[in-house]
Structure 1
Amino acid sequence: MTLFVGVIAWAMGIALINIVLKPILAVKNQAAAVTNKHFTQITDHSGIAEFEQLIEVHNSMTTQIQALFSQQQKQLDDLKDNLYHEASSGLPNREYFQLTLADFLNRKSERLMGGLVMIHLNDLTKLRHDQSFSAYQDVISYVVKVVERVTGMGKNAPLFQLNEQDFALLLLHQGTSDILESSKLIVRQLEDCEPLEQLGGCFVGASEILEHDTSVSLTKRTDEALKYAKKSHKRFYMDKSTGESNNNTLFKSKQEVVHAIERSRVEFFTQPVIDPISGEKLFTELYTKLSIDEQPLSLPQVLILAEKFEVTPALDKKVLMEVEKHYQLGALKDKISINISAFSFDSEVFQTWLIKWLNEEPALAKNIILEFDEIDLAHTSNARDISFKLANHGIEIAIDHFGRGSSSLSRFSDMKLHWLKVDSRYIQKDSTDNNRDYLKMICELVSKLGVKAIIPNIESDEQIELAKEVGCAGIQGFKIAKPISIFEQV
């Protein structure tokens, strides 16, 4: 009997603990959760009216605290947004830029690689004051769209608005070629913004991140590049310092690049451009290969560094002198095309040398087509004068990679052009009907301007048929002939 009473007492004690202690523990746990911003509701019920009221009140308080916290969090986010973002664009502002840049440069455990690009919109405040805030915002929106189109504006390419007319673009984990290419594309595409061009356009300065850079040193160096661009009336200028992105390159200074060009051995490879209908050869394109002490050099890398250190005239002079040598030896007989940099014509010394060289070699001049990259030529302020000056000496002019940038034919309509090479992406296997229509339109339009369109990178019979269909004047590619060394040709 005593045992039975003991068991009953034990069971009642356990039940009492569950009835009384469990809701108390639930309330305690809920309070602890609230302090950690977890707003859970108590769902278990005790069955005792007083405890039910306690749970109901506590759940209600938790809901109110959650609402209050959400409201305060929103107010905090709004304050932070106002503190770190520009109202006109919604972009992070100067303060946030400085915090972001300092944070990135302080990551000592990571291999720093990238660059800073500063964009200055000339006299843009006049638009806001003289016309309207809406007109000003339209230009800002245009800038944002251009940068987004060129870089993606993702985690590795954040854009910041520093003030009413200055922006900073941080290009993370990107090398020299990426920084150069992005900067040039931004400049080129912003030139299509008419309201901005009427105010004097934009200027861009860029700098690579150096090993021991601070936010102050990197910003100062990039700002100096921007000031130089404005002072020298260049749309874009890149600081000459070499950063982490070039740790593996052979050349880290202007002197090293020039010395490498002087020592380099030039070898040419040839590939014919033919009429797609008759198969007649129109001319032969020369591809250049450089080497030092029998070690091949990456020509794109050399060209990128030549552009960065502004020594493209030295590279182009070297190549053209080699062309002359092979022509005199009889290795080159037909009409040939060769790529040179439009930036070389920023040098008066190079222009003077080239004109003198052409006067001394009139027969060679009449057999040369000079090819210029579309984007680079679009950045050359005296492109029209150059084209006519060269044409007067018998040189034919070609635009290469047309369609890679955003240039329109109207930009080149007042130049003396002879050939236009469409960018190869429009002839790839996944070409769409839109690409087909684009090619046809380009071929028709340039033909009316007296310019012949060429489609490169032909690799299949289907692409040859497409080239015939759209009416291009010339084709080239592996399907026609692979590039061969000029010595094999001889």
Structure 2
Amino acid sequence: MFEKNGFIQTLDYYVLSHTCKFLQTYQHLAVPRLSVNLSGVTMLQEDVVERVMEILNQYQVVPAQIDLEITETAFVANSAIQASLKALQHMGFTISIDDFGTGVSSLSRLRYMDLDTLKIDREFIIDALDDKRGNSILNHVIEIAKDLDLETVAEGIETADQLNYLREIGCDVGQGFYYARPMPEAVFVVSCEKLTQEGKC
């Protein structure tokens, strides 16, 4: 609905602003790179690169601290989007394709996408443990990503079995309820402070 009425742009820039404000406020923490989603509608705007950089400059945040997540549909929808993503990447942002496997793109299109990280949809993870074909597909997706020098992130990890399997087949990063559920900012800060003190963040 927000994409149809245009409000998604306001929401996208609000989230980016809040993320940058967080990074500025908690500079003393060893906070890892934070990911921010940008919709295809926002990416289609001619001034998207300028507006993104204005927000980062306002909070004195460098692009390397932000990972921009774009759906695979947006990647292939318009050449202007790809041009903007390339410009942002050159400025130092990392670019991720989110929920890979749920959209309309094929593996062959990966060679035309300027990105750094492939985020594999949770359905791939579920199928890999329950189905031989799903297992084979996931293995090959990770192999192809590695051949293209892409970082791989598995979404929706909920069990130790899933985590161990993904480690065995060489997936780089995992995210999901197995690690943590969504939490308020204050709780996240406390967790980061603890991990920073332990040298794990």
- If the length of structure 1 is used for normalisation, what is the TM-score? 0.36
Structure-2 separation of matches of 1:411 and 1:359: 33
Q: Does 2:106 align with 1:398? A: no
Structure with the bigger RCO (C-alpha within 8 Å, sep 6+) is 2
Structure-2 separation of matches of 1:440 and 1:315: 36
CA RMSD of aligned residues (A): 2.1
| Cα distance, 1:361 vs structure 2 | 5.6
| Cα distance, 1:439 vs structure 2 | 0.8
Aligned length, in residue pairs? 186
Report the counterpart of residue 489 of structure 1 in structure 2.
188
| Cα distance, 1:437 vs structure 2 | 0.8
Report the counterpart of residue 344 of structure 1 in structure 2.
42
User: Where does 1:34-433 land on structure 2 (aligned, <5 Å)?
Assistant: 305-330=1-26, 333-358=31-56, 363-428=61-126, 431-433=130-132
Secondary structure of 1:369's partner? Answer: strand
What CA deviation, in whole Å up to 9, does each residue of 1:33-67 have, x standing for no partner? xxxxxxxxxxxxxxxxxxxxxxxxxxxxxxxxxxx
Q: Report if the CA contact (8 A) 2:17-2:55 is conserved.
A: no
Quickly say closer, same or farther: Cα 1:384–1:376, change in 2 above 3 A: closer
Q: Report if the CA contact (8 A) 1:387-1:415 is conserved.
A: no
| Cα distance, 1:378 vs structure 2 | 2.4
What CA deviation, in whole Å up to 9, does each residue of 1:176-204 have, x standing for no partner? xxxxxxxxxxxxxxxxxxxxxxxxxxxxx
Q: Report if the CA contact (8 A) 1:384-1:414 is conserved.
A: no
Q: Report if the CA contact (8 A) 1:404-1:423 is conserved.
A: yes
Q: Report if the CA contact (8 A) 1:343-1:380 is conserved.
A: no
Secondary structure of 2:67's partner? Answer: strand
Secondary structure of 1:397's partner? Answer: strand
| Cα distance, 1:463 vs structure 2 | 0.8
What CA deviation, in whole Å up to 9, does each residue of 1:80-121 have, x standing for no partner? xxxxxxxxxxxxxxxxxxxxxxxxxxxxxxxxxxxxxxxxxx
Structure-1 separation of matches of 2:2 and 2:185: 25
Structure-2 separation of matches of 1:325 and 1:318: 10
- If the length of structure 2 is used for normalisation, what is the TM-score? 0.82
Structure-2 separation of matches of 1:415 and 1:382: 12
* Aligned residues with identical type, % of pairs: 29
What CA deviation, in whole Å up to 9, does each residue of 1:329-372 have, x standing for no partner? 11773211121212202111333322343456664311110111
Structure-1 separation of matches of 2:45 and 2:139: 37
Structure-2 separation of matches of 1:417 and 1:350: 17
Structure-2 separation of matches of 1:466 and 1:445: 18
What CA deviation, in whole Å up to 9, does each residue of 1:6-49 have, x standing for no partner? xxxxxxxxxxxxxxxxxxxxxxxxxxxxxxxxxxxxxxxxxxxx
Q: In structure 2, give the amino acid aligned to 1:443.
A: I
Q: In structure 1, give the amino acid aligned to 2:44.
A: D
Q: Report if the CA contact (8 A) 2:37-2:68 is conserved.
A: yes
Report the counterpart of residue 283 of structure 1 in structure 2.
none
Q: Does 2:151 align with 1:455? A: no
